[in-house]
Structure 1
């Protein structure tokens, strides 16, 4: 047993470059796992700076130096970001409040409809089954009510966290962009010289993460705006709230679309019932999902590494459980990182060659 483990260790860790890669990934994971709450604003700033690096490079091509390019890009980014935040958040808050106030009325209508089912379909549904269903629904609603109450109690800390993000993150993004080369040079000084595999994985992930983050942001914006416009044209209630949910649902492939379908269908059902208008809603919602899956995703992520759907779902569950929203957002790049490390890790034959040398 111990001889087998020792042999496996020699085969997999004979290359010092592999040891460097293993230590780098282990230390990074440990820092994120134990200090994720403290490091999250820094990680968000790094992600935004990474996304804005390409616009900075394009502005530099027209003749500006790096400092001027960074100032211009940051100014445009802050204007767009703060306009979106302070223009969209009040509307979302208002529509969410209205929807919460209408929930009791929806529950009453739903209960009335369910109580008519035993009379219409006595061979399929019984009154005891309906009573059990209504009781379980009330239980779930009480649990959700407690969650909402706890969220409102903790709103002060959430507001403080939001202020930290709104003030500190743009400042960090500015300096990450402005002093990028100097910061990278200082960071590289702490890495061992045997870092060939680390550099290989980093080079592979650089383009993949950039393509993913850029594509995912564009996908959220396009799908969110398209869904909002269609909901407004159809006359659906709470169009901005539901459209934003549909846009954010693309963060979690496969699962997100299925989950967001529930509130969209429920709001449409309570508003129109089983009518032609409700059918149009389902038709257009299906078209949005079809365009997203068959046209938008292949176009935006054509250069991304292909991952099996099961691997994507496992990555979403694992990293989402570890780091919440940002874990879900970066689940696919992190899964791609795992795949890149596995592909770059020296095989048994390569390790044997190193030992012979």
Structure 2
């Protein structure tokens, strides 16, 4: 005899509350395990494919780990130092950027940019805030002993956790399946399959899209000669999972920096007269890079790698990221997407059940 629905709801509610409390109290401690689990989930299809090719699970995980280690070492040697350097340089350049913007506004809208103008004061305040806060952030990350210790802990623990979770992934899923309540096992398996499909489409598919676009933007902008091309490409690729936001933010930042760098940068000599012209070709190339990136994302990358079955609306994603980020910090932002996917699947299932119930159809439908 199954438990009454009221008792089942009570037990599952208590379980959910306990999990939220654990996340609240242990959000700093569980970060390596969340990252390791996410990496294992991302790479599990690769391990399964190697197994189907004839390798054992252990050999498959060792091959994946060796390739991941090689890629990580290359990133440490080639990319991350430049990324940190460009981030610090961009923060230091921010006041000059706002000063150039202030000069442009003063030239065209002198009434708005007098000494007591609110716009001028706000631009100066924004530039100083970015420089001071950004400098504090970079210095805190790079120079803080605690920060270095945490980074070392992440570099050691995350790969170990990811290795063992990837090695035992099939056993863990089978163990979880064996502990499901037998009365609802088919329904729970159905819901889990939908959650897995949603997460696979978003985390694996959209994560690959972010990686490809971030690499493309960074390489393209650097080849175009943009001074901060790597950091702009990194930012654009990082937030590409929010439709249009990554391209808009990255494109606006890249074009703004291109205007700052290439406006009046071409020296034109006519006898004894020296004038400076704007390099519109370089600015157009920077804008074209993001236009091509949007075309590739919308017509090739997203349809092929993500598909149309994600079911996570951009507004819902932003809401989940904001709520979980404010409640649980960085760990909350990491788990926001999986939790949003779970809630979305459960909400759709609950809506289907509601539409099939008497509460929705009414008694007259059965007459």
TM-score category (smaller protein): 0.7 to 0.9
Q: CA deviation at 1:319?
A: 3.2
Q: Could you tell me which residue of structure 1 aligns to residue 225 of structure 2?
A: 235
Distance in 2 between residues matched to 1:256 and 1:322, nearest whole Å: 24
Q: TM-score, normalised by structure 1?
A: 0.80
TM-aligned CA distance change 1:296 to 1:16, over 3 Å = farther
Q: Could you tell me which residue of structure 2 aligns to residue 256 of structure 1?
A: 246
TM-aligned CA distance change 1:279 to 1:63, over 3 Å = closer
Paired residues of 1:225 and 1:243 also in contact (CA < 8 A): yes
Calculate the aligned-residue CA RMSD, in Å.
3.1
TM-aligned CA distance change 1:71 to 1:139, over 3 Å = same
5 Å-filtered alignment, 1:296-315, equals: 296-315=301-320
- Unpaired runs of 5+ residues, structure 2, are 264-277, 360-367
Q: CA deviation at 1:55?
A: 1.3
Q: CA deviation at 1:109?
A: 2.9
TM-aligned CA distance change 1:272 to 1:66, over 3 Å = same
TM-aligned CA distance change 1:283 to 1:84, over 3 Å = same
One of 264, 267, 292 as aligned partner of 1:287:
292
SS of equivalent residue, structure 1 residue 304: coil
Q: Which has the higher contact order (CA 8 A, sep 6+)?
A: 1
Distance in 1 between residues matched to 2:198 and 2:235, nearest whole Å: 26
Q: Could you tell me which residue of structure 2 aligns to residue 162 of structure 1?
A: 151
2:261 counterpart of 1:271: yes
Q: Could you tell me which residue of structure 1 aligns to residue 101 of structure 2?
A: 110
TM-aligned CA distance change 1:299 to 1:333, over 3 Å = farther
**Per-residue CA shift, 1:141-172, capped at 9, x if unaligned?**
33333423442235332222211111111111
SS of equivalent residue, structure 2 residue 240: helix
TM-aligned CA distance change 1:350 to 1:114, over 3 Å = closer
Q: Could you tell me which residue of structure 2 aligns to residue 204 of structure 1?
A: 194
Paired residues of 1:17 and 1:195 also in contact (CA < 8 A): no
2:140 counterpart of 1:153: yes
Paired residues of 1:230 and 1:284 also in contact (CA < 8 A): yes
Of Structure 1 and Structure 2, the greater helix share is in 1
**Per-residue CA shift, 1:50-87, capped at 9, x if unaligned?**
11211111111222222222222222222223322332
SS of equivalent residue, structure 1 residue 216: helix
The alignment covers a number of residue pairs equal to 335
Distance in 2 between residues matched to 1:112 and 1:139, nearest whole Å: 15
Paired residues of 2:94 and 2:131 also in contact (CA < 8 A): no
5 Å-filtered alignment, 1:174-193, equals: 174-184=163-173, 192-193=181-182
Distance in 2 between residues matched to 1:18 and 1:340, nearest whole Å: 18
2:60 counterpart of 1:69: yes
2:38 counterpart of 1:34: no
Paired residues of 1:20 and 1:194 also in contact (CA < 8 A): no
Moved more, 24-33 or 244-253: 24-33
Moved more, 43-52 or 255-264: 255-264
- Unpaired runs of 5+ residues, structure 1, are 1-12, 120-124, 353-357
SS of equivalent residue, structure 2 residue 310: coil
2:128 counterpart of 1:142: yes
**Per-residue CA shift, 1:95-123, capped at 9, x if unaligned?**
2233334334334433333322245xxxx
